[in-house]
Structure 1
Amino acid sequence: MDVRLLGRVDYAPTFDAMKDFVAQRLPGEREQLWICEHPPVFTLGLAGKPEHVLMPGDIPVVPTDRGGQVTYHGPGQVVAYPLIDLKARSYFVKEYVHRLEEAVIRTLAHFGVTGHRVAGAPGMYVRLDDPFSHAVLPQRPQRREPGSPAPQPDFSGLGKIAALGIKVSNHRTYHGVALNVAMDLSPYQRINPCGYAGLQTVDLSTIGVSATWDEAAQQLAAQLTRLLAV
Protein backbone atom coordinates (compact mmCIF):
# COMPACT_ATOMS: atom_id res chain seq x y z
CA MET A 1 0.00 0.00 0.00
CA ASP A 2 1.31 3.40 -1.00
CA VAL A 3 1.25 5.77 2.00
CA ARG A 4 0.90 9.42 1.07
CA LEU A 5 1.35 12.22 3.61
CA LEU A 6 -0.69 15.05 2.16
CA GLY A 7 -0.24 17.62 4.94
CA ARG A 8 -3.03 20.15 5.43
CA VAL A 9 -5.47 20.03 2.52
CA ASP A 10 -8.97 21.40 1.94
CA TYR A 11 -11.71 18.85 2.53
CA ALA A 12 -13.87 19.24 -0.59
CA PRO A 13 -11.15 18.66 -3.23
CA THR A 14 -9.76 15.77 -1.16
CA PHE A 15 -13.21 14.20 -1.09
CA ASP A 16 -13.48 14.56 -4.87
CA ALA A 17 -10.00 13.09 -5.35
CA MET A 18 -10.90 10.04 -3.23
CA LYS A 19 -13.99 9.36 -5.31
CA ASP A 20 -12.00 9.74 -8.53
CA PHE A 21 -9.29 7.35 -7.33
CA VAL A 22 -11.79 4.69 -6.32
CA ALA A 23 -13.76 5.01 -9.55
CA GLN A 24 -10.79 5.07 -11.91
CA ARG A 25 -8.12 2.90 -10.25
CA LEU A 26 -6.70 0.55 -12.83
CA PRO A 27 -6.19 -3.18 -12.22
CA GLY A 28 -2.76 -3.68 -10.68
CA GLU A 29 -2.46 -0.09 -9.49
CA ARG A 30 -1.25 0.09 -5.91
CA GLU A 31 -3.79 0.84 -3.23
CA GLN A 32 -3.18 3.97 -1.21
CA LEU A 33 -3.42 5.35 2.31
CA TRP A 34 -3.79 9.12 2.53
CA ILE A 35 -2.79 10.83 5.78
CA CYS A 36 -3.75 14.48 6.18
CA GLU A 37 -5.41 17.18 8.25
CA HIS A 38 -8.07 19.65 7.15
CA PRO A 39 -8.87 23.30 7.78
CA PRO A 40 -12.04 23.66 9.92
CA VAL A 41 -15.02 21.92 8.30
CA PHE A 42 -18.18 20.10 9.37
CA THR A 43 -19.04 17.05 7.28
CA LEU A 44 -22.49 15.54 7.11
CA GLY A 45 -22.87 11.82 6.40
CA LEU A 46 -25.65 10.13 4.47
CA ALA A 47 -27.67 9.66 7.66
CA GLY A 48 -26.90 13.20 8.77
CA LYS A 49 -29.75 15.38 10.00
CA PRO A 50 -29.34 19.13 9.54
CA GLU A 51 -30.75 19.78 13.01
CA HIS A 52 -27.58 18.23 14.49
CA VAL A 53 -25.64 21.17 13.05
CA LEU A 54 -26.54 23.67 15.77
CA MET A 55 -24.64 26.81 14.79
CA PRO A 56 -21.95 26.33 12.15
CA GLY A 57 -21.07 30.02 12.01
CA ASP A 58 -18.07 30.60 9.77
CA ILE A 59 -17.23 26.89 9.44
CA PRO A 60 -18.46 25.35 6.17
CA VAL A 61 -20.78 22.33 6.18
CA VAL A 62 -20.03 19.79 3.43
CA PRO A 63 -22.48 16.94 2.64
CA THR A 64 -20.69 13.67 1.91
CA ASP A 65 -21.52 10.10 0.93
CA ARG A 66 -19.94 8.41 3.96
CA GLY A 67 -21.96 6.71 6.64
CA GLY A 68 -22.90 8.41 9.87
CA GLN A 69 -24.01 11.82 11.06
CA VAL A 70 -22.15 15.11 11.47
CA THR A 71 -18.56 15.45 12.61
CA TYR A 72 -15.83 18.06 12.67
CA HIS A 73 -12.38 18.12 11.07
CA GLY A 74 -9.77 20.69 11.91
CA PRO A 75 -6.08 21.40 12.48
CA GLY A 76 -4.45 19.11 15.02
CA GLN A 77 -6.46 16.07 13.93
CA VAL A 78 -4.89 13.17 12.01
CA VAL A 79 -7.23 11.99 9.25
CA ALA A 80 -6.56 8.67 7.51
CA TYR A 81 -8.22 7.65 4.25
CA PRO A 82 -7.52 4.01 3.22
CA LEU A 83 -8.31 3.50 -0.47
CA ILE A 84 -8.29 -0.28 -0.72
CA ASP A 85 -10.11 -3.18 -2.37
CA LEU A 86 -11.92 -5.32 0.20
CA LYS A 87 -12.64 -8.09 -2.28
CA ALA A 88 -8.95 -8.46 -3.09
CA ARG A 89 -8.18 -8.61 0.62
CA SER A 90 -10.93 -11.15 1.30
CA TYR A 91 -12.70 -9.51 4.19
CA PHE A 92 -16.07 -7.87 4.69
CA VAL A 93 -17.04 -4.39 5.80
CA LYS A 94 -17.54 -5.37 9.45
CA GLU A 95 -14.02 -6.77 9.61
CA TYR A 96 -12.68 -3.67 7.87
CA VAL A 97 -14.28 -1.39 10.47
CA HIS A 98 -12.88 -3.57 13.24
CA ARG A 99 -9.38 -3.22 11.78
CA LEU A 100 -9.69 0.57 11.52
CA GLU A 101 -10.73 0.74 15.17
CA GLU A 102 -7.95 -1.63 16.18
CA ALA A 103 -5.40 0.62 14.45
CA VAL A 104 -6.61 3.51 16.60
CA ILE A 105 -6.50 1.36 19.75
CA ARG A 106 -2.88 0.43 19.04
CA THR A 107 -1.96 4.03 18.20
CA LEU A 108 -3.44 5.20 21.49
CA ALA A 109 -1.63 2.40 23.32
CA HIS A 110 1.65 3.67 21.87
CA PHE A 111 1.01 6.89 23.83
CA GLY A 112 -0.07 5.01 26.97
CA VAL A 113 -3.81 5.60 26.45
CA THR A 114 -6.46 2.87 26.56
CA GLY A 115 -8.99 3.17 23.75
CA HIS A 116 -12.41 1.58 24.06
CA ARG A 117 -15.17 0.50 21.71
CA VAL A 118 -18.75 1.30 22.74
CA ALA A 119 -21.66 -0.95 21.75
CA GLY A 120 -23.81 0.65 19.06
CA ALA A 121 -21.43 3.56 18.39
CA PRO A 122 -18.54 3.40 15.90
CA GLY A 123 -15.36 5.22 16.79
CA MET A 124 -13.02 5.17 19.75
CA TYR A 125 -13.54 6.42 23.30
CA VAL A 126 -11.49 6.99 26.45
CA ARG A 127 -12.37 7.13 30.13
CA LEU A 128 -12.53 10.75 31.25
CA ASP A 129 -11.54 9.97 34.84
CA ASP A 130 -8.58 7.76 33.89
CA PRO A 131 -7.67 7.52 30.19
CA PHE A 132 -4.85 5.12 31.08
CA SER A 133 -7.02 2.55 32.85
CA HIS A 134 -7.21 -0.92 31.35
CA ALA A 135 -10.48 -1.75 33.13
CA VAL A 136 -13.08 -3.21 30.79
CA LEU A 137 -16.06 -0.99 29.99
CA PRO A 138 -19.51 -2.31 30.92
CA GLN A 139 -20.78 -0.69 27.69
CA ARG A 140 -18.31 -2.58 25.49
CA PRO A 141 -19.67 -4.48 22.47
CA GLN A 142 -20.94 -7.89 23.51
CA ARG A 143 -22.40 -10.88 21.70
CA ARG A 144 -26.02 -10.39 20.62
CA GLU A 145 -28.59 -12.88 19.46
CA PRO A 146 -29.11 -12.76 15.69
CA GLY A 147 -31.91 -10.34 14.81
CA SER A 148 -31.81 -8.54 18.15
CA PRO A 149 -31.77 -4.72 18.00
CA ALA A 150 -28.53 -2.81 18.36
CA PRO A 151 -27.96 -1.47 21.88
CA GLN A 152 -28.50 2.19 22.67
CA PRO A 153 -25.00 3.69 23.10
CA ASP A 154 -24.04 4.65 26.65
CA PHE A 155 -21.35 7.36 26.81
CA SER A 156 -21.34 7.71 30.59
CA GLY A 157 -17.90 8.77 31.79
CA LEU A 158 -16.44 8.69 28.28
CA GLY A 159 -15.00 11.11 25.76
CA LYS A 160 -14.76 10.45 22.05
CA ILE A 161 -11.23 10.70 20.72
CA ALA A 162 -11.60 9.24 17.21
CA ALA A 163 -14.42 9.26 14.67
CA LEU A 164 -15.03 6.72 11.94
CA GLY A 165 -17.06 7.01 8.77
CA ILE A 166 -16.58 4.99 5.60
CA LYS A 167 -17.96 4.40 2.14
CA VAL A 168 -17.59 1.22 0.07
CA SER A 169 -18.25 1.30 -3.66
CA ASN A 170 -17.75 -1.84 -5.75
CA HIS A 171 -15.74 -3.32 -2.85
CA ARG A 172 -13.44 -0.26 -2.77
CA THR A 173 -13.20 1.90 0.32
CA TYR A 174 -12.86 5.60 0.89
CA HIS A 175 -13.32 8.08 3.75
CA GLY A 176 -11.89 6.60 6.95
CA VAL A 177 -10.92 7.56 10.49
CA ALA A 178 -9.94 10.77 12.30
CA LEU A 179 -7.87 10.85 15.51
CA ASN A 180 -7.88 13.97 17.68
CA VAL A 181 -4.35 14.93 18.73
CA ALA A 182 -4.08 18.60 19.75
CA MET A 183 -7.06 20.61 18.51
CA ASP A 184 -9.27 23.54 19.24
CA LEU A 185 -12.22 21.44 20.42
CA SER A 186 -14.70 24.32 20.69
CA PRO A 187 -16.27 23.70 17.23
CA TYR A 188 -17.66 20.41 18.56
CA GLN A 189 -19.94 22.53 20.75
CA ARG A 190 -21.60 23.81 17.56
CA ILE A 191 -22.87 20.34 16.63
CA ASN A 192 -24.27 17.18 18.17
CA PRO A 193 -21.18 15.03 17.46
CA CYS A 194 -22.16 11.97 15.45
CA GLY A 195 -25.80 12.88 16.18
CA TYR A 196 -25.53 12.60 19.98
CA ALA A 197 -26.39 15.68 21.99
CA GLY A 198 -23.93 16.27 24.81
CA LEU A 199 -21.34 13.74 23.64
CA GLN A 200 -18.01 15.01 24.94
CA THR A 201 -15.10 15.08 22.52
CA VAL A 202 -11.48 15.01 23.64
CA ASP A 203 -8.01 14.88 22.15
CA LEU A 204 -4.67 13.56 23.33
CA SER A 205 -3.61 16.94 24.69
CA THR A 206 -6.69 17.38 26.92
CA ILE A 207 -6.15 13.98 28.55
CA GLY A 208 -2.56 14.83 29.37
CA VAL A 209 -0.63 13.33 26.46
CA SER A 210 1.91 15.50 24.68
CA ALA A 211 2.26 14.28 21.10
CA THR A 212 2.91 16.11 17.86
CA TRP A 213 0.73 15.71 14.80
CA ASP A 214 3.65 14.07 12.97
CA GLU A 215 4.18 11.51 15.74
CA ALA A 216 0.52 10.53 15.81
CA ALA A 217 0.29 10.48 12.01
CA GLN A 218 3.29 8.20 11.63
CA GLN A 219 2.03 5.83 14.29
CA LEU A 220 -1.51 5.63 12.88
CA ALA A 221 -0.19 5.12 9.34
CA ALA A 222 2.07 2.29 10.54
CA GLN A 223 -0.75 0.56 12.40
CA LEU A 224 -3.18 0.87 9.48
CA THR A 225 -0.57 -0.42 7.03
CA ARG A 226 0.05 -3.44 9.27
CA LEU A 227 -3.59 -4.22 10.05
CA LEU A 228 -4.93 -3.74 6.53
CA ALA A 229 -2.38 -6.07 5.01
CA VAL A 230 -3.87 -9.09 3.27
Structure 2
Amino acid sequence: MNPNINKEVEFRQLGLVDYQEAWDYQERIFKEIVDLKIENRKMEEPAQKITPNYLLFCQHPHVYTLGKSGKPENLLLDEQGLEEKEATYYKINRGGDITYHGPGQIVAYPILDLENFFTDIHKYMRLMEEAVIRTCADYGLNAGRVEGLTGVWLDYEDMKNPRKICALGVKSSRWVTMHGLAFNINTQMEYFKNIIPCGIDDKAVTSLEMELGREVNFAEAEARLKQHLAEVFEMELK
Protein backbone atom coordinates (compact mmCIF):
# COMPACT_ATOMS: atom_id res chain seq x y z
CA MET A 1 0.00 0.00 0.00
CA ASN A 2 1.25 3.48 -0.85
CA PRO A 3 2.37 5.05 2.47
CA ASN A 4 1.26 8.45 1.18
CA ILE A 5 -2.38 7.40 0.85
CA ASN A 6 -4.35 9.41 3.41
CA LYS A 7 -8.00 8.62 4.19
CA GLU A 8 -8.17 11.00 7.11
CA VAL A 9 -10.65 13.79 6.45
CA GLU A 10 -10.85 16.90 8.60
CA PHE A 11 -14.45 17.94 9.19
CA ARG A 12 -15.16 21.65 9.51
CA GLN A 13 -18.57 23.06 10.43
CA LEU A 14 -18.80 26.59 9.00
CA GLY A 15 -22.38 27.34 10.07
CA LEU A 16 -24.31 30.06 8.21
CA VAL A 17 -21.74 31.68 5.95
CA ASP A 18 -21.86 34.09 2.99
CA TYR A 19 -21.51 32.23 -0.31
CA GLN A 20 -18.54 34.28 -1.55
CA GLU A 21 -16.74 33.80 1.75
CA ALA A 22 -17.24 30.03 1.62
CA TRP A 23 -16.21 29.93 -2.05
CA ASP A 24 -12.99 31.85 -1.30
CA TYR A 25 -12.32 29.51 1.62
CA GLN A 26 -12.77 26.47 -0.60
CA GLU A 27 -10.51 27.95 -3.26
CA ARG A 28 -7.70 28.52 -0.74
CA ILE A 29 -7.82 24.94 0.53
CA PHE A 30 -8.19 23.55 -2.99
CA LYS A 31 -5.17 25.52 -4.22
CA GLU A 32 -3.04 24.43 -1.26
CA ILE A 33 -3.72 20.77 -2.05
CA VAL A 34 -3.18 21.16 -5.80
CA ASP A 35 0.06 23.09 -5.21
CA LEU A 36 1.27 20.37 -2.84
CA LYS A 37 0.56 17.72 -5.45
CA ILE A 38 2.51 19.68 -8.05
CA GLU A 39 5.47 19.91 -5.65
CA ASN A 40 5.20 16.18 -4.88
CA ARG A 41 5.57 15.36 -8.56
CA LYS A 42 9.05 16.90 -8.46
CA MET A 43 10.18 14.61 -5.64
CA GLU A 44 10.98 10.94 -5.22
CA GLU A 45 8.16 9.02 -3.52
CA PRO A 46 9.76 8.77 -0.03
CA ALA A 47 10.08 12.57 0.11
CA GLN A 48 6.53 13.29 -1.05
CA LYS A 49 4.18 14.83 1.50
CA ILE A 50 0.76 13.43 2.36
CA THR A 51 -2.10 15.46 0.89
CA PRO A 52 -4.87 16.47 3.32
CA ASN A 53 -8.63 16.08 2.82
CA TYR A 54 -11.46 18.21 4.15
CA LEU A 55 -15.24 18.00 4.49
CA LEU A 56 -16.99 21.33 4.98
CA PHE A 57 -20.63 21.64 6.08
CA CYS A 58 -22.46 24.96 5.99
CA GLN A 59 -25.63 26.87 5.19
CA HIS A 60 -25.80 29.97 3.02
CA PRO A 61 -28.00 33.05 3.04
CA HIS A 62 -30.32 33.11 0.01
CA VAL A 63 -28.18 32.76 -3.12
CA TYR A 64 -28.47 31.49 -6.69
CA THR A 65 -25.41 29.98 -8.37
CA LEU A 66 -24.93 29.21 -12.06
CA GLY A 67 -22.51 26.50 -13.15
CA LYS A 68 -20.24 26.56 -16.19
CA SER A 69 -22.71 24.73 -18.41
CA GLY A 70 -25.71 26.73 -17.17
CA LYS A 71 -27.89 29.22 -18.99
CA PRO A 72 -28.39 32.65 -17.38
CA GLU A 73 -32.02 32.68 -18.53
CA ASN A 74 -32.73 29.89 -16.04
CA LEU A 75 -32.66 32.61 -13.37
CA LEU A 76 -36.11 34.19 -13.53
CA LEU A 77 -35.21 37.30 -11.49
CA ASP A 78 -33.58 40.55 -12.52
CA GLU A 79 -31.38 42.63 -10.19
CA GLN A 80 -34.38 44.31 -8.60
CA GLY A 81 -36.05 40.94 -8.06
CA LEU A 82 -32.92 39.62 -6.36
CA GLU A 83 -32.86 42.63 -4.05
CA GLU A 84 -36.52 42.14 -3.16
CA LYS A 85 -35.81 38.50 -2.29
CA GLU A 86 -32.67 39.50 -0.36
CA ALA A 87 -30.77 37.04 -2.55
CA THR A 88 -27.43 37.16 -4.34
CA TYR A 89 -26.32 35.58 -7.63
CA TYR A 90 -22.97 34.13 -8.72
CA LYS A 91 -21.59 32.53 -11.85
CA ILE A 92 -19.22 29.89 -10.55
CA ASN A 93 -16.69 27.28 -11.67
CA ARG A 94 -18.52 24.04 -10.91
CA GLY A 95 -20.33 21.83 -13.37
CA GLY A 96 -24.09 21.87 -13.74
CA ASP A 97 -26.68 24.56 -14.26
CA ILE A 98 -28.44 26.84 -11.79
CA THR A 99 -29.39 26.05 -8.23
CA TYR A 100 -30.47 27.74 -5.01
CA HIS A 101 -28.85 27.71 -1.59
CA GLY A 102 -30.43 29.03 1.57
CA PRO A 103 -31.03 28.52 5.28
CA GLY A 104 -32.35 25.08 6.18
CA GLN A 105 -30.30 23.37 3.46
CA ILE A 106 -27.20 21.26 4.16
CA VAL A 107 -24.43 22.32 1.82
CA ALA A 108 -21.52 19.87 1.87
CA TYR A 109 -18.19 20.68 0.25
CA PRO A 110 -15.80 17.71 0.17
CA ILE A 111 -12.32 18.98 -0.73
CA LEU A 112 -10.64 15.65 -1.29
CA ASP A 113 -7.57 14.41 -3.06
CA LEU A 114 -9.27 11.52 -4.82
CA GLU A 115 -5.91 9.83 -5.28
CA ASN A 116 -6.27 9.06 -1.56
CA PHE A 117 -9.49 7.16 -2.37
CA PHE A 118 -10.00 6.33 -6.08
CA THR A 119 -9.55 8.16 -9.36
CA ASP A 120 -13.05 8.12 -10.80
CA ILE A 121 -15.22 11.27 -10.89
CA HIS A 122 -18.31 9.27 -11.88
CA LYS A 123 -17.87 7.06 -8.81
CA TYR A 124 -17.31 10.17 -6.68
CA MET A 125 -20.63 11.66 -7.78
CA ARG A 126 -22.50 8.39 -7.28
CA LEU A 127 -21.10 7.95 -3.76
CA MET A 128 -22.19 11.45 -2.75
CA GLU A 129 -25.66 10.58 -4.04
CA GLU A 130 -25.53 7.28 -2.14
CA ALA A 131 -24.84 9.08 1.16
CA VAL A 132 -27.94 11.25 0.61
CA ILE A 133 -30.03 8.22 -0.43
CA ARG A 134 -29.06 6.48 2.82
CA THR A 135 -29.88 9.60 4.83
CA CYS A 136 -33.32 9.76 3.22
CA ALA A 137 -33.81 6.07 4.06
CA ASP A 138 -33.11 6.92 7.73
CA TYR A 139 -36.28 9.06 7.54
CA GLY A 140 -38.30 6.35 5.79
CA LEU A 141 -38.03 7.88 2.31
CA ASN A 142 -37.23 5.83 -0.78
CA ALA A 143 -34.86 8.06 -2.73
CA GLY A 144 -32.74 7.23 -5.75
CA ARG A 145 -31.31 8.31 -9.07
CA VAL A 146 -32.83 9.28 -12.41
CA GLU A 147 -30.88 7.99 -15.39
CA GLY A 148 -29.03 10.74 -17.19
CA LEU A 149 -29.48 13.28 -14.38
CA THR A 150 -27.36 14.03 -11.32
CA GLY A 151 -28.72 14.43 -7.83
CA VAL A 152 -31.13 12.50 -5.63
CA TRP A 153 -34.81 12.14 -6.40
CA LEU A 154 -38.06 10.86 -4.90
CA ASP A 155 -40.62 8.98 -7.02
CA TYR A 156 -37.69 8.16 -9.27
CA GLU A 157 -38.90 4.68 -10.22
CA ASP A 158 -42.28 5.28 -11.90
CA MET A 159 -41.44 8.96 -12.63
CA LYS A 160 -45.09 9.97 -12.06
CA ASN A 161 -44.06 12.93 -9.92
CA PRO A 162 -40.24 13.01 -9.67
CA ARG A 163 -38.98 15.45 -7.05
CA LYS A 164 -35.37 16.45 -6.54
CA ILE A 165 -34.25 16.61 -2.92
CA CYS A 166 -30.51 17.05 -3.45
CA ALA A 167 -28.48 18.77 -6.19
CA LEU A 168 -24.83 18.09 -7.02
CA GLY A 169 -22.21 20.16 -8.80
CA VAL A 170 -18.44 19.72 -8.57
CA LYS A 171 -15.13 20.92 -9.89
CA SER A 172 -11.96 18.83 -9.97
CA SER A 173 -8.36 19.40 -11.00
CA ARG A 174 -5.48 16.95 -10.58
CA TRP A 175 -8.05 14.71 -8.83
CA VAL A 176 -8.75 17.35 -6.15
CA THR A 177 -12.45 18.18 -5.70
CA MET A 178 -14.41 21.22 -4.59
CA HIS A 179 -18.05 22.36 -4.48
CA GLY A 180 -20.36 19.41 -3.74
CA LEU A 181 -23.99 18.87 -2.77
CA ALA A 182 -27.02 20.80 -1.53
CA PHE A 183 -29.54 18.72 0.43
CA ASN A 184 -32.92 20.31 1.20
CA ILE A 185 -33.89 19.77 4.83
CA ASN A 186 -36.07 22.66 6.10
CA THR A 187 -35.40 24.79 3.03
CA GLN A 188 -37.69 27.71 2.06
CA MET A 189 -38.89 26.08 -1.14
CA GLU A 190 -40.57 29.19 -2.58
CA TYR A 191 -37.11 30.42 -3.61
CA PHE A 192 -36.93 27.62 -6.18
CA LYS A 193 -39.85 29.25 -8.03
CA ASN A 194 -37.43 31.94 -9.20
CA ILE A 195 -35.28 29.53 -11.24
CA ILE A 196 -35.56 26.59 -13.58
CA PRO A 197 -33.72 24.24 -11.19
CA CYS A 198 -30.69 22.65 -12.83
CA GLY A 199 -32.14 23.76 -16.17
CA ILE A 200 -34.90 21.11 -15.93
CA ASP A 201 -38.31 22.74 -16.26
CA ASP A 202 -40.60 19.71 -15.93
CA LYS A 203 -39.48 18.32 -12.58
CA ALA A 204 -40.21 19.53 -9.07
CA VAL A 205 -38.00 20.07 -6.04
CA THR A 206 -38.71 19.00 -2.50
CA SER A 207 -37.26 18.84 1.03
CA LEU A 208 -37.27 16.47 3.97
CA GLU A 209 -39.68 18.84 5.73
CA MET A 210 -42.13 18.77 2.81
CA GLU A 211 -42.00 15.01 2.47
CA LEU A 212 -42.35 14.28 6.18
CA GLY A 213 -44.86 17.03 6.92
CA ARG A 214 -42.83 18.32 9.84
CA GLU A 215 -39.76 20.36 10.60
CA VAL A 216 -36.68 18.16 10.79
CA ASN A 217 -34.01 18.40 13.49
CA PHE A 218 -31.29 19.99 11.35
CA ALA A 219 -28.33 18.93 13.49
CA GLU A 220 -29.57 15.34 13.43
CA ALA A 221 -29.85 15.39 9.62
CA GLU A 222 -26.32 16.80 9.38
CA ALA A 223 -25.00 14.07 11.68
CA ARG A 224 -26.68 11.35 9.62
CA LEU A 225 -25.35 12.70 6.32
CA LYS A 226 -21.86 13.10 7.79
CA GLN A 227 -21.92 9.49 8.99
CA HIS A 228 -23.06 8.16 5.61
CA LEU A 229 -20.45 10.18 3.71
CA ALA A 230 -17.80 8.68 5.98
CA GLU A 231 -19.15 5.19 5.36
CA VAL A 232 -19.42 5.28 1.58
CA PHE A 233 -16.02 6.92 1.09
CA GLU A 234 -14.40 4.88 3.89
CA MET A 235 -13.19 8.15 5.40
CA GLU A 236 -11.49 8.46 8.76
CA LEU A 237 -13.25 11.62 9.91
CA LYS A 238 -11.53 13.77 12.49
Q: How high is the TM-score relative to the length of structure 2? A: 0.82
Task: Assess if the C-alpha contact under 8 Å between 1:164 and 1:176 holds in 2.
Answer: yes
| Alignment equivalent of 1:159, drawn from 158, 163, 169 | 163
1:11 corresponds in structure 2 to 19
**Which residue of 2 is the match for residue 190 of structure 1?**
194
1:2 maps to 2:10: yes
Which position in structure 1 is the counterpart of 2:3?
A: none
In 2, distance between residues paired with 1:111 and 1:30? 33
Contact 2:51 2:113 in 1 (8 A): no
Which of the residues 191, 198, 208 maps onto 2:212? Answer: 208
The aligned amino acid for 1:124 is: V
Structure 2 matches for 1:29-44, cutoff 5 A? 29-44=51-66
Instruction: Say how many residue pairs are matched.
Output: 206
Partner amino acid, structure 2, of 1:183: T
Q: Which residue of 2 aligns with 1:86?
A: 114
Q: What's the TM-score once normalised by structure 1's chain length?
A: 0.85
Distance 2:17 2:213 in 1: 25
Alpha-carbon distance in 2 for matches of 1:209, 1:218:
21
| Deviation string, structure 1 residues 79-108 (Cα, Å, up to 9, x no partner) | 111110112212300110110010001111
CA contact 1:162–1:180 (8 Å) conserved in 2? yes
Q: Given the alignment, which residue of 100, 116, 123 partners 2:151?
A: 123
What's the CA shift for 1:29?
Answer: 4.7
* 2:102 maps to 1:74: yes
Q: 1:159 to 1:204 in 2, by over 3 A?
A: same
Structure 1 Cα separation of the partners of residues 26 and 213 of structure 2: 32
Equivalent positions of 1:98-177 (< 5 A) are 98-127=126-155, 137-138=157-158, 156-177=160-181
SS of corresponding position for 2:57: strand
Residues 22 and 174 in structure 1, CA contact (< 8 A), matched pair in contact too: yes
CA RMSD of aligned residues (A): 1.5
Taking structure 1 as reference, are residues 223 and 19 closer, same or farther at Cα in structure 2, changes over 3 Å only? same
**Cα distance between partner residues in 1 of 2:186 and 2:52:** 32
1:45-78 CA deviation, whole Å, 9 max, x = no partner?
A: 0011111111152221111100000000000000
**What does residue 228 of structure 2 align with?**
223
| Structure 2 gap segments, 5+ residues each | 1-8, 37-48
Q: Which runs of 5+ in 1 are unaligned?
A: 128-135, 139-154
- Runs of 4+ aligned residues of structure 1 deviating over 2 Å after TM superposition are 25-30
Aligned equivalents of 1:17, 1:6: Cα separation in 2: 10
Q: 1:24 aligns with which of 24, 32, 43?
A: 32
* 1:179 CA displacement: 0.7
Report if aligned partners of 1:192, 1:199 keep a CA contact under 8 Å in 2. no
Greater gyration radius? 2
Q: Is the 1:80–1:221 contact (alpha carbons within 8 Å) kept by the matching residues of 2? A: no
